[in-house]
């Protein structure tokens, strides 16, 4: 006949069995054995930083503005020289005849008057007339004479009348040109020479 055990006794027996199973690793009495966690291969970290993709940066194109208009430099006004009031000029000469005769015959005229007008007469000291002759056939010339001062008149007019016998080169040639030139001397003794004229014939009266 089987002996009946009290619940307390059963609990004690059960505790002994469980403790022994744990000690002897009896399968079925304890839960599943948890094995060691699988070894994961080491993760190789990149030695260089992983470059993030470069995002294009939007470049704003500044509108090209036309260059500002170039302003021409303002130049100072050019000073206009005032007219010089001391300048002396000579007008066209006048002669009383284009043919002058010499000798004892009755040919006329035997006198000739030279006249010229100058500007700014207040600055004029003298007006001198120089004469020479040139043979029409041989082109031989005399030297210029020493000059004769003309007589001042009104408003800058100067003149002088010569008789043919009083011309310094009177006896040189029988058929010649009479050359003449006016020279002005101003108050500062500056000479202003006119051109040489050759439009007067100096002839011997036949």
Whether 191 is in a domain gets the answer: yes
Q: How many domains does the chain have?
A: 1
Whether 174 is in a domain gets the answer: yes
CATH number for the domain including 140? Answer: 2.60.40.1940
**DSSP annotation of 69:** P
What are the C-alpha distances in Å from 38 to residues 35, 41, 174?
9, 10, 155
Arithmetic mean of pLDDT over the chain: 77
pLDDT 10s digits, 140-165: 999 999 999 999 999 999 999 999 99
Whether 10 is in a domain gets the answer: no
Q: How many CB atoms lie within 10 A of CB 141?
A: 16
Whether 196 is in a domain gets the answer: yes
pLDDT at 177 over 70: yes
Q: How many CB atoms lie within 10 A of CB 150?
A: 20
Whether 128 is in a domain gets the answer: yes
Q: Which residue has the higher pLDDT, 78 or 117?
A: 117
The model's confidence at residue 206, banded by pLDDT at 50, 70 and 90, is: confident
Q: How far apart are CA 128 and CA 68, in angstroms?
A: 67
Whether 192 is in a domain gets the answer: yes
Closest C-alpha to 149, from 131, 133, 165 = 131
pLDDT 10s digits, 45-95: 555 555 555 555 545 455 565 565 556 556 555 655 545 557 899 999 999
Q: Indicate the pairing of strand 111-117 with strand 94-95.
A: antiparallel
Domain that holds residue 159: 94-204
Whether 200 is in a domain gets the answer: yes
Q: What percent of the chain is modeled with pLDDT above 70?
A: 59
Whether 148 is in a domain gets the answer: yes
pLDDT 10s digits, 183-192: 999 999 999 9
pLDDT at 195 over 70: yes
pLDDT 10s digits, 11-21: 666 666 655 55
């Amino acid at each position: 006949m089987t002996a009946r055990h009290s619940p307390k006794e059963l609990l004690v027996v059960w505790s002994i069995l469980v403790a022994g199973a744990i000690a002897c690793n009896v399968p079925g009495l304890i839960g599943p054995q948890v094995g060691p966690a699988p070894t994961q291969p080491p993760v190789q970290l990149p030695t260089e930083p992983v470059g993030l993709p470069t995002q294009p940066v939007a470049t704003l194109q500044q509108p090209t503005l036309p260059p500002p208009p170039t302003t021409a430099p303002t130049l100072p006004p050019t000073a206009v020289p005032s007219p010089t009031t001391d300048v002396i000029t000579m007008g066209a000469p006048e002669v009383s005849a284009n043919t002058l005769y010499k000798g004892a015959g009755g040919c006329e005229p035997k006198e000739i008057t030279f006249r010229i007008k100058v500007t700014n007469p207040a600055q004029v000291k003298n007006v001198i007339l120089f004469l020479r002759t040139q043979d029409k056939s041989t082109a031989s010339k005399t030297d210029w004479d020493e000059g004769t001062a003309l007589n001042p008149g009104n408003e800058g007019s100067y003149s002088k009348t010569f008789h043919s016998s009083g011309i310094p080169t009177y006896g040189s040639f029988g058929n010649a040109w009479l050359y003449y030139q006016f020279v002005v001397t101003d108050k500062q003794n500056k000479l202003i020479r006119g051109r040489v004229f050759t439009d007067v014939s100096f002839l011997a009266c036949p």
